[in-house]
Amino acid sequence: MTTSTPVHHRTSSTAQAAAAGLTVFAAVMLMIAGIMGFIRGLMAVLEDDVFLTTRDYVFQFDLTSWGWIHLILGVVAIGVSAGLFVAMAWARVLGVIIAGLLMLANFLSIPYYPFWSLTLIAVNGFIIWGLCVVRREDV
């Protein structure tokens, strides 16, 4: 009968530095996306004339409703990014969820501001990547 000894995995300082760097990257990008989402929502709620409207689009919603959705998601994203700066575990999970919701909101609001929506979809994809690629024990 053989006994096995527990194997302790030791993370290198390089892996920890990379994990911290990716978490800070995701936090900064999420804060920027949140601020931009908030400003975009504010413009929509105030019925600014910068938005393009496309007729006969499958996902057609009221611009004011989208404005409130972007405002709320922007505020939540800013709060979650603050949690990421202090490396809270809940913030990583909520960061992925909020970035996914921001991606969905930007996809559905493509007819109002197409180029900006596609740009923010890509930014939120990088946020999700930055939060998911880091292992829990490296943070």
Which pTM does this prediction carry?
0.76
Whole-angstrom distance, CA of residue 107 vs CA of residue 81:
22
Residue 99 reports pLDDT greater than 80: yes
Q: Which two tokens stand for residue 10?
A: 């030791």
Q: Answer yes or no: are the C-beta atoms of 74 and 35 closer than 8 Å.
A: yes
Q: What does the pLDDT read at residue 98?
A: 95
Which residue type sits at 22? L
pLDDT digits (tens, 9 = 90+) for 69-95: 889 999 999 999 999 998 888 899 999
The DSSP call for residue 111 is: T
pLDDT digits (tens, 9 = 90+) for 23-71: 888 899 999 999 998 988 888 788 766 555 556 655 566 677 778 888 9
